[in-house]
């Protein structure tokens, strides 16, 4: 389920927030009560059970950036 969508952020106190796409929420229904957020230059959102895959992806992106 790959897609690209643009979202506007909005303020909540001192933080910024975005809404999650409804199609993504429906696809991962039941696994998104808690979402793991990983990041460096990019943020990766991982539903329950996909935290390790998200961490691997972030590590790959960091290694690729360093080799450029």
State residue 44's pLDDT score: 94
Mean model confidence pLDDT for the chain: 92
Give the model's pLDDT for residue 9: 97
pTM of the model: 0.76
- Collapsing DSSP to helix, strand or coil, 26 comes out as helix
Mean pLDDT, rounded, for 31-60: 93
pLDDT higher than threshold 90 for residue 16 = yes
What are the residues whose beta carbons fall under 8 Å from the beta carbon of 28, sequence distance 6 or more?
A: 47
**Cα 15 → chain centroid:** 16
Give the mean pLDDT of 44-67: 93
- pLDDT of the residue at 68: 85
List the structure tokens of 47: 């539903």
Q: State the pLDDT at residue 41.
A: 86
């Amino acid at each position: 389920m790959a897609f690209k969508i643009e979202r506007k952020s909005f303020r909540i106190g001192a933080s910024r927030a975005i809404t999650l796409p409804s199609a993504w929420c429906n696809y991962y229904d039941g696994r998104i009560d808690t979402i793991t957020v990983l990041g460096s230059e990019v943020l990766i959102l991982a539903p329950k059970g996909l935290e390790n895959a998200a961490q691997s992806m972030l590590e790959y992106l960091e290694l690729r950036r360093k080799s450029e």
